[in-house]
Structure 1
């Protein structure tokens, strides 16, 4: 069987490895527009702060690795056209200009995403940069060394991390966000307010609810940033306004969502049975709502890519879906999130409530009983867990993983309240903080008169 993989960052690399590990005799061809594979873009800010010495360390696989396994890897090759009816591809060698055709039996689309370039006048100015891939990261690093005042447009993960990086390296930083809170797709207002104050405490100028409308270059070389709140100057502007899926090659040939992301089934298969999709090019099956969602995260891409490499040989291993679990280090705080925020669940008109736990992660008689904030979201009708966000100087990232598993398994606030967790004063209270926030939710339902018999995840009835 001949399998063609288009794109090889996270998903494409994972797919190729699974195919050749399980079926080394398979004819696998990988097409990649860049001259590298497997770049971890989430590590860009670590490079900018000097926490890692070499940007090249952000590659976790090389083309040679795939070649050794038996793949044909064609770097700097751009797929121009795909015809799903004839199973053919038109490909351009970007170095020679030669255009040729190829065929496939099965196709894996791992074309990823691009920075969502907003319709801003002057966005092509030389002192306005985008941030996602290896070459863009190199350009940002080189430019930032020569400039002091950096403007970051967009306060999602990438923009917030960049703002922190530049603040830590003695740059003056202005962060522009069109929304009324930062990280609005990941956390609720309570945690966002804490993150916002932390950025301000480190000297970052925040411009909330200000939409950037144009860029211009002043006579002295500075970039002029025009926004809905006024005009500003900086030495360099970096645009981090989200991502859009790269799926034009299959437009009108397979089903897509409103973002243009490829719709997949439980085996990461598109509406064309011979085409699989993984990573930022496709949706995820989002467990808290039971509906598809566009959530471009490297973790999703790796899992979907591996599953595409398995299921291209048949419906072997179903995709478990995702809770979009993620985390970031912001100065000396850990921010972690999984599932739905309260605001997102309300927007979807779900029957939800939330509780906020605010207390020490371990007994106060221990040294440094660091405070911890947890925002827990649940469905009050069936009591199922829907989401949680964490904020603390203590590393709470693995607690987000625990909550992710519980949401995926359909656990309830009652399960969370009394699930078995270790106690040792070095690590937690006699009831772990996850137990405590679950008990808070149970108590809230008791106060509201919602103490009805219910089925738990184990299938036992309780009163």
Structure 2
């Protein structure tokens, strides 16, 4: 039987993980990887923390190419950009240095990732404005900080990357301003929860400008003109406006895109061509509640999708289920977490819901170190079925979000929350955990109607 060749386009959480997963169950197929940058596997979520100095050693973010290639018996091609796919010949064309080459595949896996949104505004192509997506981007930011000694920075965009960059840049002593076109920070959160974050940033001395956006840059990026007419002076700018899926290869090969603009895939991560799979930040998946199309660029989905593809290539029939979009981030001293739907997305879907908000504490108030914790849940008006949750606080946020994410996955209702036995010690919780308490409160509010 001839050897099968599997080609993977792109590395990091999607491509590198699927290569490793395939090799665990398939020792015979030839696996070739192509990555246009110089690194096949790196911890992109750790980059803001290396910039800020929390993660001291750059090498800890990287998986050496030679080590990866040797461990998984993969032919790794870095600085090799795949430029086209010929589905009828089952070949890809790639460019390495100035050489154009073509190679045949039996199965093709696309993990091209996503790119930062860069607004087309006057003066943006300057030496002081940066996006952060790759190790090379990170290196450029660090080199600029070390060589130019900036005093002030503006972060454009109040999403996950923008918020994480704020704390790390201020840790370097920079005076920080954040600008966002929306009316709140972290648009995925409920407004009431976002206001807690806004208050925390103001306590930290961050200048917050909402309902405004970039119109132009002047003086080689030192001046930012906003849509309102306001001008900001900054020694550097970080663009964190958002990301867009890299779909050029897919569209060039006439693969189907979904309504979100990302690559459409079935339950086994196959594209409209059954010999071509796709995963990670480039694909469209389904919402756990409604089944409607969703675009979610997070690490967990990419790793799960890698397993689904490797299993399917090996004859397995494990489907990829819909996404909840569970996420967590650090904003200065606050931890911010969300899972499932918020009031905004439920309203957009036309779903009737109720919400309950609970200010609480991370553990027993009399035990040292007890910190403020806020939880907001969203649930069905009719059945009490949990739809989503926001959690924010200074301690214990991660475990409360994890419990609520699991409860949503398990299709629990607000009536189930008071019954959860979550373990009690004064150092870790209260005898009635905040998850129990918000369940009691939700039930009380629900029963009044």
Query: How would you bin the TM-score normalised by the shorter chain?
Result: over 0.9
For residues 270 and 222 of structure 2, what CA distance do their matches in structure 1 show?
Answer: 45
**Aligned-partner SS, 1:375:** strand
Deviation, structure 1 residue 365: 3.2
Deviations 1:327-376, CA, capped at 9 Å, x for gaps:
11222221111111112212222111110011223333333432210010
Name the residue aligned to 2:222.
223
Name the residue aligned to 1:402.
403
Name the residue aligned to 2:216.
214
CA contact (8 A) 1:167 1:202 kept: no
CA RMSD of aligned residues (A): 1.7
**Aligned-partner SS, 1:303:** helix
1:254 has 2:255 as partner: yes
Name the residue aligned to 1:6.
9
Deviation, structure 1 residue 316: 2.8
Name the residue aligned to 2:364.
363
**Aligned-partner SS, 2:46:** helix
Name the residue aligned to 1:300.
301
For residues 273 and 314 of structure 1, what CA distance do their matches in structure 2 show?
Answer: 14
For residues 426 and 177 of structure 2, what CA distance do their matches in structure 1 show?
Answer: 42
For residues 203 and 7 of structure 1, what CA distance do their matches in structure 2 show?
Answer: 40
**Aligned-partner SS, 1:413:** coil
1:23 has 2:26 as partner: yes
Deviation, structure 1 residue 67: 3.4
Deviation, structure 1 residue 71: 1.1
Deviations 1:71-130, CA, capped at 9 Å, x for gaps:
11111111110122332111111x2x1111111111111110110112222221111111
Name the residue aligned to 2:438.
437
CA contact (8 A) 1:286 1:321 kept: yes
Calculate the TM-score normalised by the size of structure 1.
Answer: 0.91
Matches within 5 A, 1:267-346: 267-346=268-347
1:156 has 2:163 as partner: no
**Aligned-partner SS, 2:415:** helix
Name the residue aligned to 1:174.
177
1:349 has 2:350 as partner: yes
CA contact (8 A) 2:85 2:93 kept: yes
For residues 89 and 412 of structure 2, what CA distance do their matches in structure 1 show?
Answer: 46
CA contact (8 A) 1:14 1:309 kept: no
The more displaced of 65-74 and 273-282 is 65-74
For residues 110 and 149 of structure 1, what CA distance do their matches in structure 2 show?
Answer: 36
**Aligned-partner SS, 2:366:** coil
Detail structure 1 runs of 4+ shifted over 3 Å in the superposition: 60-63
Name the residue aligned to 1:233.
233
For residues 53 and 364 of structure 1, what CA distance do their matches in structure 2 show?
Answer: 35
Deviation, structure 1 residue 209: 0.8
Calculate the TM-score normalised by the size of structure 2.
Answer: 0.94
1:54 has 2:57 as partner: yes
Q: 2:196 aligns with which of 179, 194, 197?
A: 194
Q: How many residues align?
A: 442
CA contact (8 A) 2:124 2:221 kept: no
Deviation, structure 1 residue 155: 0.9
Deviation, structure 1 residue 423: 2.3
**Aligned-partner SS, 2:194:** helix
For residues 243 and 317 of structure 1, what CA distance do their matches in structure 2 show?
Answer: 29
Name the residue aligned to 2:206.
204
CA contact (8 A) 1:167 1:203 kept: no
For residues 420 and 264 of structure 1, what CA distance do their matches in structure 2 show?
Answer: 39
For residues 20 and 255 of structure 2, what CA distance do their matches in structure 1 show?
Answer: 26
Deviation, structure 1 residue 61: 5.9
Change (3 A) 1:26 1:143: same
The more displaced of 191-200 and 360-369 is 360-369
Deviation, structure 1 residue 420: 2.6
Name the residue aligned to 1:116.
117
For residues 432 and 197 of structure 1, what CA distance do their matches in structure 2 show?
Answer: 26
Structure 1: tracts of 5 or more residues without a match:
449-463
Deviations 1:408-460, CA, capped at 9 Å, x for gaps:
22221112231232222222222221121122222111001xxxxxxxxxxxx
**Aligned-partner SS, 1:10:** helix
Deviations 1:191-213, CA, capped at 9 Å, x for gaps:
21111111121111111111101
